[in-house]
Amino acid sequence: MKRLLGPRVARNLANASEVRVEFDLESQPEIVQQAVGYALQAWDIAKGWLLSPEAWSQFALLVVAYLGAVFVARKLRPLLERLLDPGETQNLLTKPRLFVMRFLALLLPLLAYVFTGIGESIVRSIFDSGAVIAFGKRVFLFLALRALVRDIFTDPFLKVFGRYVLIPIGALYTLGLLDIVQAKLTETVVQLGNISFSVMSIVRGLIAGSVLFWLGRWSNEQSTQFIHKQEEMRPSLRQLAAKSVEFIIFGIAFLLLMNIMGINLSALAVLGGAIGVGLGFGLQKIASNFISGVILLVEGQATVGDYVELDGGEAGTIIKMMARATILETYDGRWIVVPNEDFITTRVVNYSDSGSGNRYEAEFSVSYDTDINLVPDIIEKAVATHPGVLDKPYPPDCELRGFGDSGIDFAVEFWVNGIDDGDNKYTSDVLFLIWNALKDHDITIPYPQRVVEIKGGLPSS
C-alpha cells in the first residue's frame, strides 16, 4: 500500500507507528490490534490527502475527467444508439447489433476511466505522485463492473456470479487490498493426503470452474441447436453428434480447470485406477448402459420420436435418449425410464422405424341374409375414403373370416402412417365408415339370437 500512496503518505504511516505506541494494546486480542493499526493508517492517509495540494489537484482532475466523460457520453450515446438500433429490420446483423447495444451502459464509466488515465500521466510528470488519481481510476473501473453486472448480464448464473464474486473482487481491487488478500490466501495451505492445496488455488478453482462449466453449458446448447438443424443427418446420428460434442466440451473444461488449479494430473492416477476398478465391479451396469446407448445412437434402430414396444411390455414414444437410459412417454402422459441395455439385450418392436406404415384391422359381421359377394367391394371403397388410410404398400383389403353363431364374420385390413392411439383414432374412424356403408346398402349387422325349444309343449293353464 505504501508503494501506491507515494512518499508523503509513507511518512505519515511512519508517524502512525509512533502514535500507536501511546495506546496500550498489548492486552487486547491480535485482531483488535490489527484493526486499530489499519484504522490509524487510514486516518493518516486521509489526513495526508486532505492537507496535500497534490491530492487536491488530483481530486480536481478527477472531477474534470468525470464531467468531461458525462459531456462526451451525452453527445456520443444517441449517435451510437441510432447506428446500432436495427429497428424493424431483421437480418444476420440484428442480434449482434442488439448485443453490442447493451454495452452502452459502460460508456460513461469507461470514458471517465480513459480521461482519468490521461490525466494521471500528466500529474505524475508534474508531482511525481498520483495515488489519488490512481484510486479514482479504480473507482471508475468498479463502477463499470457494477454496471456490467446490473445492466448487461441477463443470465441468472452470470448475475449471481457477478454479484457475489466479481463485485467483491472489484471492491478489494479498488481499495488496494486485493494483493494482500491474495497473499494471505496463498500462504494458507490445506493438506489432503499426498495432495496439498493453497486456499487461493481452491478459490481460483471455484471461480474458474464456475465460469468454465457455464461456458461449457452455453457452448453445448449452441452446438446442439446447430446439430439438430442438420436435417440431412439421421436423427440417431444427430443425437450421437450432440452427445459427443457435449463430452468433448466438458472434458476440455475439466482439463483446463485442473491446469488452472495447478493440479498435476499424474497425481490423480491412483484415483483413476480406483474408478476403473469400480466400473469393473460395482458400476458395470452403468458402463453397460452407457455403451448400449452409444450403440443405439450409432445404429439408429431407435431414436427420438419413435414409438417402440419392449419385450417386457413397456411401450411409448421415445422423447429423450440419455447416457444411461431412454425415456418413453405413454399416451396417458406417463414417463417410463428404460435402461439402454434393455434395447440391446431384449426384443424391441419399433412402430415408427424409417417412417414405415403400420397395418391394423377392424372386425365386423353381417347377417346371413346378406349377399356376401357384395360386402368386400363396399367396405374397401368406404375405408379408402379415410384421409389417413394408405394405398401403399397395400390398399384396404376386406376378408371373410368365418361363419359365426349370429352372423358372417369379416375383417378389413388397412395401412396407416402412425400409431392407432393418442391423437390418432384410425380403427374407430374405420368402424364408423363401415357402419355407415352397411346402412347405406341396407345390410343388416346381426345381434346374438337364440332359438329356445321347449320339449313337451307349453304347460296348460
Let me know whether 182 and 248 are in one domain. Answer: no
Measured between alpha carbons, how far is residue 29 from residues 23, 33, 148, 185, 191 in Å? 14, 6, 41, 22, 28
Q: For residue 1, what pLDDT band results from cuts at 50, 70 and 90? A: very low
Q: Which helix (H) or strand (E) holds 195?
A: strand 195-198
Mean pLDDT of 268-294: 68
Provide the pLDDT confidence category of residue 412 given band limits of 50, 70 and 90. Answer: very high
Phi, psi (degrees; rounded to nearest 5) at 389 = -80, 135
Between residues 435 and 305, which one has the greater pLDDT?
435
The average pLDDT across 285-306 equals 76
- Does 325 lie in the same domain as 432? no
- Tell me which of 312, 332, 353 is where a domain ends: 353
Tens of pLDDT, residues 328-379: 888 777 888 888 888 888 888 887 755 567 888 899 999 888 888 989 999 9
Q: What is the pLDDT of residue 28?
A: 63
Specify whether 395 is located in the same domain as 348: no
Q: How many domains does the chain have?
A: 4
pLDDT at 280: 63
Q: Which of 377, 385, 375, 378 is nearest to 430 (CA)?
A: 385
Residue written as grid cell 431407435: 302
The pLDDT of residue 141: 87
Report pLDDT for 48: 59
- Reading the block at residue 280, the C-alpha cell is 469393473
92 and 166 assigned to the same domain: yes
Q: pLDDT value at position 322?
A: 78
| Residue 175 domain flag | yes
pLDDT confidence bin for 43, thresholds 50/70/90: low
Examine the pLDDT at 76 and tell me if it is beyond 90: no
Separation between Cα atoms, residue 389 and residue 298, nearest integer Å: 33
332 part of a folded domain: yes
Do residues 342 and 330 both lie within one domain?
Answer: yes
Structural domain including 57 reads: 52-187
pTM of the model: 0.49
> In this structure, is residue 242 part of a structural domain?
yes
Instruction: Please state, rounded to an integer, the average pLDDT across all residues of the chain.
Output: 77
**CATH number of domain containing 401:** 3.30.70.100
Q: 319 in the Ramachandran plot: left (φ > 0), alpha (ψ -120 to 50) or beta?
A: alpha
Q: Are residues 329 and 372 in the same domain?
A: no
Do 174 and 217 lie in one domain? The reply is: no
Cβ–Cβ < 8 Å for 96, 86: no
Residue that the C-alpha cell 494494546 belongs to:
25
pLDDT of residue 431: 92
101 in a structural domain: yes
C-alpha 318, offset from chain centre:
20
Q: Is 316 exposed, middle or buried (0-12, 13-18, 19+ CB in 10 A)?
A: buried
**Structure-model confidence comparison of residues 119 and 217, the more confident one:** 217
| Distance between CA atoms of residues 430 and 414, nearest Å | 9
Euclidean distance between CA atoms 264 and 246, whole angstroms:
24
Instruction: Please tell me which residue, 19 or 388, carries the higher pLDDT value.
Output: 388
Q: How far apart are the first and last CA of the chain?
A: 128
Residues 396 and 348 placed together within one structural domain of the fold: no
Say if residue 282's pLDDT is above 70.
Answer: no
**What is residue 411's predicted lDDT score, i.e. its pLDDT?**
92
